[in-house]
Amino acid sequence: MKKMTLIRMMLWLLVTALPAGLSAQSKAEKRQERARMVKECMAARDFEIEPRSALTMGGHSIQLDPRYSLKVKNDSVFSYLPYFGRGYSLPYGGGEGLTFEAGVEDYEQTVGKKGNYEIKFSARTREDYYTFYVDVYESGSASIRVNMQRKQSIDFMGDVVFPEEEGD
């Protein structure tokens, strides 16, 4: 009887511990795969970031829906970002805000101390001159700071969108 109880306990421990071990291994594999995909996107200079939240200079955090994005593809930037803040010199009607397509100027990419990619580039439209500071981490999370000449700066927090995730 004691032998059967001992065998049941061993089987129970084996059954409960096995999925936890597999789950930890798959999490590590997923983390490595995500880091590899981030590295490929940064090397190709082809990435898209979907912001989850915006932080205004006034200190307000605003949750965003998934329709916004910042795409960099080779020498072009496609900015579909909302703007919340104060403008100093705006065209009649308020202008386009942070919704524009433009050429990338002065693109610089370095690897930071924590292994994150630090990207700086500029873009010019007929309305304003924008400087983007983007940090992309191996986990796929990203932060964006946009400085403008005619408006207050704004920050965004979000995630890199990978091609196979777009259909999900």
- At residue 47, the pLDDT reads 93
- At residue 60, the pLDDT reads 85
Q: Kindly report the pTM of this predicted structure.
A: 0.77
Closest listed residue to residue 103, CA positions, set 132, 64, 74: 74
- At residue 124, the pLDDT reads 93
- At residue 145, the pLDDT reads 96
> Which sign, positive or negative, has the C-alpha torsion 11, 16, 19, 24?
negative
How is the chain split into domains, by residue range?
36-165
Structure tokens at 117: 């990619």
- At residue 58, the pLDDT reads 82
- At residue 131, the pLDDT reads 96
Q: DSSP for 61-123, please give it.
A: EEE--TT-EEEEETTEEEEEE---S-BSS--TT---TEEEEEE-EEEEEEE-TTS-EEEEEEE
Which mean pLDDT values do the consecutive 10-residue runs of the chain (168 residues) have?
64 59 69 87 91 88 90 93 78 74 93 90 91 93 92 92 62
Residue type at 23 in one-letter notation: S
CATH number of 36-165: 2.40.128.410
- At residue 4, the pLDDT reads 63
Strand, helix or coil at 135? strand
- At residue 143, the pLDDT reads 95
HSE-up (13 A, CA, CB side) for residue 110: 6
